[in-house]
Structure 1
Amino acid sequence: MHSHLKLSLAMTAGFALGAAVSQGLRAQQHPPAYVISEIEVTDAEAYLRDYVPLANRALAENGQRRLASGGRTVTLAGAPPATRVVVSVFDSLEKAEAAYTSPAYLEARRIGDRYGRLRIFAVEGLPQ
């Protein structure tokens, strides 16, 4: 009888410990960060050839997941957006900032600045 009681107590303690650890991990997670890039492209051919591949690689290596990239945009209120809009998500605001300040992206950005004017900002999302 003692072995059943010990097993039952061990299972209960394991379940409680697992639930506490799981809750603690969820509490430590940062909310996602959404990055919005508005680009006024001045030389589309060079922009696509010289900047986009470098920037995409640098940002993807730092956790970027693109949600929208250069698709059709519609103005709903206020001034119209730039000719090209990119929306992406990172696991946290800190990871977004690290991606856009990484040496690889800064090198790509030096090239991109020759072919367009970029406005890039990040907003912290709601916890998921």
Structure 2
Amino acid sequence: MKTLPAVTIAVTTGAALGGIAVHNLEAQARPPAFVISEIEVTNPDAYAREYVPFANKALADSGQKRLASGGRTVALAGAPPASRVVVSMFESMDMAQAAYQSPAYLEARKIGDQYGKLRIFAVEGLPR
């Protein structure tokens, strides 16, 4: 009768480990998404004060990992980049699209559109 508890523990442990392994494999199979924003800021003070805090919060709450934001840019080929460039990463393309379509970001964007011209696009990364 002592083998039944041991078998039950072994089966439960095996199922849990299997579930963790499957979750990790699924997470690795989904490629990340990189979002590139080019912004021609027309009113830097209002843009920084009224738009940036709300947009940053909305996107961070949606899983954004900011990789570059407004630093020095250099044209390597073609037209020069906009005056402000932001590069972000999301766990998947679905998450990136959801972030930029979220009610919180869309509200922030109404403000941002008053102080700059934004061009935002996403590119799917290589699987991790």
Q: Same fold (TM over 0.5)?
A: yes
* Correspondence for 2:90: 90
For 2:87 and 2:35, the matched residues in 1 are separated by 6
Show structure 1 runs of 5+ residues with no match: 1-6
Deviation string, structure 1 residues 3-31 (Cα, Å, up to 9, x no partner) = xxxx9xxxx98998677545532332221
Specify the code of the residue in structure 2 equivalent to 1:24: V
Q: Which has the larger radius of gyration?
A: 1
Q: Does 1:105 align with 2:108?
A: no
TM superposition outliers: structure 1 runs of 4+ over 6 Å: 12-19
* Correspondence for 1:4: none
For 1:45 and 1:123, the matched residues in 2 are separated by 30
Q: Does 1:49 align with 2:25?
A: no
Show structure 2 runs of 5+ residues with no match: 1-5
After TM superposition, the score normalised by the length of structure 2 is 0.83
Within 5 A, what are the aligned runs for 1:66-77?
Answer: 66-77=66-77
Provide the alpha-carbon RMSD of the alignment: 2.2
* Correspondence for 1:25: 23
* Correspondence for 2:61: 61
Aligned-pair identity (%): 63
Residue-pair matches, total: 124
After TM superposition, the score normalised by the length of structure 1 is 0.83
